Structure 1
Amino acid sequence: MTSRFRRVALIGKYQASGARAQAGAQDGVMEDIGAFLESHGCEVVVEQSTDEHPEISRYAALSVGEIGRTCDLGLVVGGDGTMLGIGRQLACYGVPLVGINRGRLGFITDIRLEDYKATLVPMLAGDYEEDHRSLMHARVLREGNVVFDALAMNDVVVNRGATSGMVELRVTVGRHIVAVQRADGLIIASPTGSTAYALSAGGPLMHPAIPGWVMVPIAPHTLSNRPILLPDADEISIELVSGRDASANFDMQSLATLMLGDTVVVRRSDHRVRFLHPKGWNYFDTLRKKLHWNEGGS
């Protein structure tokens, strides 16, 4: 069966010590996947950092920008962190992504490694479900100037310093002041990120079709400060009023140090990430599998 995707980028993460430690057990995985794609008529390329692994060095190595401009599909082999990183970078190009889970949870890399051949055959032929996920565009403003700019798929988190006390944050949604919160921090999460840090801090799960965000305080001083769902059409501003050594994290993959008076401004990005899933996939199946909701009583 010939693939409807002419050029496919194979993307993995070999820099992490965990991935290198697994190389002995799964040394030929990437090479096997590349050969499988070629057998279905795909031209295979690899993302530049993936090319550091010798087993697939025979494929042309492209930058993320080159992949975005020339590839029809990105096949990501790794965990959710790998998918978050490449998803943010490729969103502006509209390249669809398929995730083969080589990590632990796999909320957005949902194809099991041992099942990839049987699962990918119909998907390569065009039989799949398409799922779009919103991105968050965050900026750090200092005296009116942008000093940091980042995209996030999961969340934007303002945190207190590791050895300091609480931070005090003035939160504005649109043109309305919501609260001045004293807490260990604050999470603004997308529906995709509602199953990540926000969930562990007591936030609700959000279906990815909901056009909103969840704002979750981290260990608030006032117990009536509870998670709240917000429309993603509104801009959210978080000003650091007091607190030492505070920082802002974006998907826990990039970091900005904050000074008093800095404001983290979060708005909906103009770009969305395109995911392709096996035919019949739905969000509730993912929740049942990953959160073990199907393990109950008799």
Structure 2
Amino acid sequence: MKSKFRHVALFGKYHAVVSGAALESSRRVLDDVAQFISRIGAEVVLEAGTAEHLGLNLYPTLKMAEIGQQCDLGVVIGGDGTMLGIGRQVAQYGLPLIGINQGRLGFITDIPMGQFEQTLQPMLVGQFEEEQRSMLHAKVWRDKHCVFDTFAMNDVVVNRGATSGMVELRIEVDGRFVATQRADGLIVATPTGSTAYSLSAGGPLMHPTLGGWVIAPIAPHTLSNRPIVLPDTSHISIEIVSGRDASANFDMQSLASLLLGDQITVEQSIHKVRFLHPQGWNYFDTLRKKMHWNEGGI
């Protein structure tokens, strides 16, 4: 059977790859996947950064915007961090993504590397499950001017300085005062991000189809400050009241240094990330496997 997708872009994990055996292994994996997709009848291109850093020149290359405009599928080979980075960039184009796991956890890159051929083939001919994941749109405001503007698939995290004590944060939701919290920081997480840092801070697991965010304090001074789930239509504002050298992280991949009086606003992005999963995939199977829950059944 011929591929349902005509123009497939490959994205690789290369930021942590320097040289030697790791570099050669990454090259070989991408080439194997590219050849497999080509045999099914799709045209394959490599994302330009992937091709440059891995030294691959066997396939045409496109930049991210060109991929979004010209391709009808993206295949990401790496871990969840790689998928987060690609997902944020291509969401505006509506490009669906398939993840082949070359990392550790694999919550959103769910095809095992050793099984990519038997799993990918039926997906390429149209046998897959599709879901859409929401994103956060975050801004940093200073003296009423926006000084930082970005998106996050997992979370927005406000942290205290590395050498200072707690940070004091004033939190508002939809213009209404919620609380002033003293803590090591605060996490605003999507359902996708509920299995990341928020989980370590005591936040709940959220099914990815839920329309909500979770706000979770990090090591709060007052133990009654607990995680809270809000509608994803909420507009969240976090103001730095006190604390030196505070910062904000967005999916732990971009960073903004904060000053007293700065405000971080978080709301729902107009874009969603499209994921394709193997037919029969469900979220609970992923949780059970990745979190090592008891798999016994009746």
Q: Which amino acid aligns with 2:181?
A: Q
Q: Which amino acid aligns with 2:161?
A: G
1:1-298 alignment, distance < 5 Å: 1-17=1-17, 22-25=22-25, 27-53=27-53, 56-294=56-294
Post-superposition Cα deviations, 1:265-288, rounded to whole Å, max 9, x if no partner, equal: 000000000000000000000000
Structure-1 separation of matches of 2:20 and 2:111:
21
CA drift at 1:56: 3.3
Post-superposition Cα deviations, 1:39-93, rounded to whole Å, max 9, x if no partner, equal: 0001000111110255631111111100000001000000000000010000000
Number of matched residues? 298
TM-score, with structure 1 as normaliser? 0.97
Deviation above 6 Å: which 4+ runs of structure 1?
none
Partner-residue secondary structure (3-state), 1:244: coil
Summarize the Cα distance change of 1:146–1:53 in structure 2 as closer, same or farther, 3 Å threshold.
Answer: closer
Structure-2 separation of matches of 1:149 and 1:29:
35
Structure-2 separation of matches of 1:174 and 1:238:
11
Structure-1 separation of matches of 2:282 and 2:70:
29
CA drift at 1:15: 2.5
Structure-2 separation of matches of 1:105 and 1:19:
24
Structure-1 separation of matches of 2:85 and 2:73:
16
TM-score, with structure 2 as normaliser? 0.97
Structure-2 separation of matches of 1:266 and 1:20:
42
Summarize the Cα distance change of 1:273–1:54 in structure 2 as closer, same or farther, 3 Å threshold.
Answer: closer
Query: Does the 8 Å contact 1:30/1:55 carry over to 2?
Result: no
Structure-2 separation of matches of 1:20 and 1:99:
25
Structure-2 separation of matches of 1:264 and 1:178:
15
Structure-1 separation of matches of 2:86 and 2:54:
21
Identity %: 65
Q: Which amino acid aligns with 1:92?
A: Q
Partner-residue secondary structure (3-state), 1:95: coil
Post-superposition Cα deviations, 1:177-225, rounded to whole Å, max 9, x if no partner, equal: 1100000000000000000000011100000111000000000000000
Structure-2 separation of matches of 1:19 and 1:251:
26
Unaligned regions of 5+ residues in structure 1, if any?
A: none
Structure-1 separation of matches of 2:20 and 2:144:
44
Structure-2 separation of matches of 1:19 and 1:234:
46
Query: Does the 8 Å contact 1:207/1:283 carry over to 2?
Result: yes
Q: Which amino acid aligns with 1:259?
A: L
Structure-2 separation of matches of 1:34 and 1:82:
18
Structure-1 separation of matches of 2:231 and 2:140:
21
Q: Which amino acid aligns with 1:267?
A: E
Partner-residue secondary structure (3-state), 1:91: helix
Q: Which amino acid aligns with 2:190?
A: S
Query: Does the 8 Å contact 2:14/2:54 carry over to 1?
Result: no
Structure-2 separation of matches of 1:27 and 1:85:
20
Query: Does the 8 Å contact 1:76/1:83 carry over to 2?
Result: yes
CA drift at 1:22: 2.7
Q: Which amino acid aligns with 2:195?
A: T
Query: Does the 8 Å contact 2:26/2:54 carry over to 1?
Result: no
Unaligned regions of 5+ residues in structure 2, if any?
A: none
Query: Does the 8 Å contact 2:27/2:54 carry over to 1?
Result: no
Partner-residue secondary structure (3-state), 1:90: helix
Q: Which amino acid aligns with 1:193?
A: G
Structure-2 separation of matches of 1:250 and 1:36:
35
